Amino acid sequence: MASCASLASMTRADLNLLITLDVLLTEGSVARAARRLRLSPSAMSRALARLRETIGDPLLVRAGRGLVPTPRALELRERVGPLVQEAEAILRPAEALDLQRLVRTFSVRASDGFVEAFGPQLIASTQAQAPGIRLRFVQKPDKDSTLLREGSVDLETGVIGAAQSPEIRTRALFSDHFVGVVRRGHPWATGEITADRFAAGRHILVSRRGLDKGPIDDALEAIGLQRDIAAIVTGFSPALSLARGSDLVAVVPERHTWTLRDGMITFPLPIAVPEITVSLLWHPRLDADPAHRWLRERVRRVCGTQKSSDDL
């Protein structure tokens, strides 16, 4: 019961009285405090009466022609000033971001392919402007937004799913198209890759949810073809690793995996497969944070200027 009563008294307290108390104890005069706060002397006298009633102490008492502080007032004077300054600092707009002095760790949830393709340039870009920034890359086994909502992840990259949480902020980074990939020396290193030849190969299916078919299979079915799936993996990085060491065929997004495909043979798909859009995701509580906003812009610029392997 006592704690409930204390809480109730806190909700009734007029925190504006702290400013009045600070000025009164600093000036030691009702008249001077009234001028500083632009109040009439009678209004300041009423404010002092309220303070006396709230605190249960006279605070300032008559001594000759002036006022002197009570022991309680002297105790409060040491505490109220810093408290008012801190409150004013909290209520002021955020100061301009000083990147050179910024020390902060950002957690970025992204696929291995994104980290390998864009991570080095992103690190170089952030370090050049803010040497105190640290990027912690977190693996992304699914599209669940729980980590963003909980605050354990600051940013996320990926393709927006149908079950995406509606409160999550998103911004498109780039579009990507799928390509076929085989090892150097593969039988498909020469000759045209037709739809029939493509379907006749042995394939690696990438499915985060472990499904046994995907968009490639839908596109093949639309023209009356079916491929042979020899392996199913949950990411593009393991798919390329398997293709690099075998005669299996991997189908991966072109821009997303350009570093992972180094030394391999890439060919355009002979079937129509929809492009994907890779986006940046974050929780709205970080929308106006200056440092977070700066990092989002860094990611956008890195992804916007990164050349694809077709341009190299």
The predicted model gives 143-166 an average pLDDT of 84
Q: Where in the chain is the domain with CATH 1.10.10.10?
A: 2-91
Please state, in angstroms and rounded to a whole number, the distance separating the CA atoms of residues 279 and 174: 7
Model confidence pTM above 0.75: no
The predicted model gives 204-210 an average pLDDT of 87
- pLDDT 10s digits, 255-295: 988 888 999 999 999 999 999 999 999 999 898 899 999 99
Please state, in angstroms and rounded to a whole number, the distance separating the CA atoms of residues 48 and 70: 14
pLDDT band at 311 (very low <50, low <70, confident <90, very high): very low
User: How far does CA 201 lie from the centroid of its chain?
Assistant: 41
Give residue 25's pLDDT.
86
Q: Where in the chain is the domain with CATH 3.40.190.10?
A: 104-176+277-311, 178-274
- pLDDT 10s digits, 243-252: 999 999 999 9
CB 36 within 8 A of CB 21: no
Give residue 157's pLDDT.
94
The predicted model gives 186-192 an average pLDDT of 92
- In CATH terms, 178-274 corresponds, of 3.40.640.10, 3.90.230.10, 3.40.462.10, 3.40.190.10, to 3.40.190.10
Q: Looking at per-residue confidence, does 266 or 28 come out higher?
A: 266
The predicted model gives 193-211 an average pLDDT of 92
Give residue 5's pLDDT.
44
Give residue 208's pLDDT.
80
Give residue 94's pLDDT.
62
CA 156 vs CA 106, 107, 289: distances in Å: 11, 8, 16
Return the CATH number of the domain spanning residue range 2-91.
Answer: 1.10.10.10
Superfamily of domain 104-176+277-311, CATH level 4: Periplasmic binding protein-like II (3.40.190.10)
- Tell me the range of 163-177, 268-282, 293-307 where mean pLDDT is highest: 268-282
Q: Does the structure show a pLDDT above 90 at 310?
A: no
Give residue 1's pLDDT.
42
> Among 211, 209, 276, 206, which Cα is nearest to 238's?
206
> Among 127, 237, 253, 76, which Cα is nearest to 178's?
253
The predicted model gives 156-182 an average pLDDT of 88
Residue 32, phi then psi, degrees to nearest 5 = -65, -40
Residue 44, phi then psi, degrees to nearest 5 = -70, -35
Give residue 142's pLDDT.
76
Give residue 92's pLDDT.
66
Q: What dihedral do alpha carbons 256, 262, 268, 269 form, nearest 10°?
A: -70
Give residue 26's pLDDT.
85
Give residue 69's pLDDT.
87
Give residue 93's pLDDT.
65
24 forms beta bridges with none
**Max CA separation in the chain (angstroms):** 108
Give residue 305's pLDDT.
65
- pLDDT 10s digits, 89-140: 677 666 678 899 999 999 999 988 889 889 999 999 999 999 999 999 998 8
Among the residue ranges 27-31, 152-156, 273-277, the one predicted with the least confidence is: 27-31
